Structure 1
């Protein structure tokens, strides 16, 4: 889904810009008066690509051998990673970077419901406190029952005050009270990025805060589903990826597919419920070791099952 905001002196001019860029199929999500004219927010669903069968042997028919076959990778990605030593191939195919420091810009955690955003926010807050820095922690989740209470329990143990700001206006006010250079962590409600009103609301929070958006996504999803989610959140503004539940997931196809599809920079991974020490930096070397490891004992790999 493609989101676009058009500003012009009059509604007719804004509509002309909208039709010129997005076409007649665009859906208008909202209009409002702004200084100097009007603002129109619109969305356009991309057309599904037409798949033409290739001439000769299909790429999908090419077998993916070795440990990569266990991880349910998209075939094209598996072939790319299998074309060189795994660590080097990961470094050449995917992007890796540290998480932003959350000082110049707030760090906003986004993702679908149940992805682990609140726990990840608590882990990042605990890390900063243990380093001697007290961050501003804000929850913009006004939808899920008990969401604020859950994060408040974490921040209370850390000696931090939780700000509740479910709207763009209240978020802007909460951020206005931080001290210069003070890190800011923003937890958000679970978002369906394919639902235009939810996507627009999340974009509004990001715009109001000027935040760096980090997609939090659980490992172990279907790889194509993860790729679709990554592309949708990247369209909203996400640039980094924190996969969660990496300690419980046996197959990492979703993590790699999401990073490639966004494209999103792999940063750190959630590895358990321990708030004090529950994030692990990701690197080509660590991922290569995990991908090459044998499946857990007691559970047969697909090629071993009868």
Structure 2
């Protein structure tokens, strides 16, 4: 695998360099922010050597890749079909270490984007169930916008929840971010029309039950009125099939991105993978801490692979249950 580093003013610029230089088959291995004013660095790889250079001389190496990756994905309770698919991708991406093959498999199967580093052409609407972390994620996006000097306006439509407006208002006040309130889809459209161009617009929504068709449809009215790109906020962990059903239930709104939250309180991440898979969502970021200033991290194939890996090395903890059965 040929590795190259690219330094640019922003991640989109670096990604453009990668695609122009290495093509669409390039695998993103790492992304780093170099500091204020120093830009960003992207490390990419390309399996551009002749296929014979990657021939496996030891028949057991194929089995090792299958065993290692299957063990990891099985720990995270992924459905067997997804495990087979990802293992198949990994075998097709030979690398010096098997976890790089896993990163390549994730790059093939999922989509990845960058946290916005400038004004977006369309508003970004965060959607999800109550308590999934929408408002705190808005605050984290605002904090990153302030660091990058991105003009930002937040609009909340969550005016009915007790303390909802007060919470987002507190965040915006501390971060010196403009805040508007829109109680109806029509009012939301009017608010957006009044906002100056070249600003990032973030829309905070009410939490809805994804299996309440009327509630989802009403939220969709706001998305349509704002012409927003919807981002699903969903906590990591939980049952993989439930997470997949939950993500699929929001498809009426047409979400494009997914930001998993509460990764710091989760050990099994099959739910976030199946949620992204079931609704064909693009990973934008990950909530890794309750801290507002640095609680939102970039996510790419390598960081996602690293997120999955450490658990396989841990010994299962023995718990004393109240029933006395262990």
**TM-score range with shorter-chain normalisation?**
0.7 to 0.9
The answer on 1:96 being equivalent to 2:101 is no
Which residue number in structure 2 is paired with residue 183 of structure 1?
200
Contact 2:123 2:202 in 1 (8 A): yes
Which residue number in structure 1 is paired with residue 83 of structure 2?
78
**Superposed displacement of residue 271, structure 1:** 0.7
**Superposed displacement of residue 241, structure 1:** 0.4
The answer on 1:116 being equivalent to 2:133 is yes
**Superposed displacement of residue 242, structure 1:** 0.3
Measure the CA separation in 2 of the matches of 1:299 and 1:143: 44
Which deviations, in whole Å up to 9, do the C-alpha atoms of 1:126-177 show, x marking residues without a partner?
A: 1111211231111111232101100111101012232111210111122122
Unaligned ranges ≥5, structure 2: 1-66, 91-100, 320-325
Contact 2:70 2:83 in 1 (8 A): no
Counterpart among 155, 163, 166 of residue 138 in structure 1: 155
The answer on 1:173 being equivalent to 2:178 is no
Unaligned ranges ≥5, structure 1: 1-62
**Superposed displacement of residue 285, structure 1:** 0.8
TM-score (normalised: structure 1): 0.74
Which deviations, in whole Å up to 9, do the C-alpha atoms of 1:60-91 show, x marking residues without a partner?
A: xxx98422221111111112222323112111
Measure the CA separation in 2 of the matches of 1:279 and 1:175: 25
Measure the CA separation in 1 of the matches of 2:255 and 2:119: 14
**SS of the residue 1:294 aligns to:** helix
Which residue number in structure 1 is paired with residue 30 of structure 2?
none
**SS of the residue 1:290 aligns to:** helix
The answer on 1:222 being equivalent to 2:227 is no
Q: Which has the larger helix fraction?
A: 2
Count how many residue pairs are aligned between Structure 1 and Structure 2. 242
| CA 257–187 in structure 1, closer or farther in 2 if over 3 Å, else same | same
Measure the CA separation in 2 of the matches of 1:99 and 1:192: 27
Which residue number in structure 1 is paired with residue 175 of structure 2?
158
TM-score (normalised: structure 2): 0.70
| CA 205–296 in structure 1, closer or farther in 2 if over 3 Å, else same | farther
| CA 163–193 in structure 1, closer or farther in 2 if over 3 Å, else same | same
Which residue number in structure 1 is paired with residue 22 of structure 2?
none
Which residue number in structure 2 is paired with residue 66 of structure 1?
71
Measure the CA separation in 2 of the matches of 1:281 and 1:236: 24
Contact 2:115 2:298 in 1 (8 A): no
| CA 86–301 in structure 1, closer or farther in 2 if over 3 Å, else same | farther
Contact 1:231 1:263 in 2 (8 A): no
Which residue number in structure 2 is paired with residue 256 of structure 1?
273
Which residue number in structure 2 is paired with residue 37 of structure 1?
none
Contact 1:102 1:185 in 2 (8 A): no
Which residue number in structure 1 is paired with residue 93 of structure 2?
none
Which deviations, in whole Å up to 9, do the C-alpha atoms of 1:160-196 show, x marking residues without a partner?
A: 2321112101111221221111110000000123212
**Superposed displacement of residue 288, structure 1:** 1.0
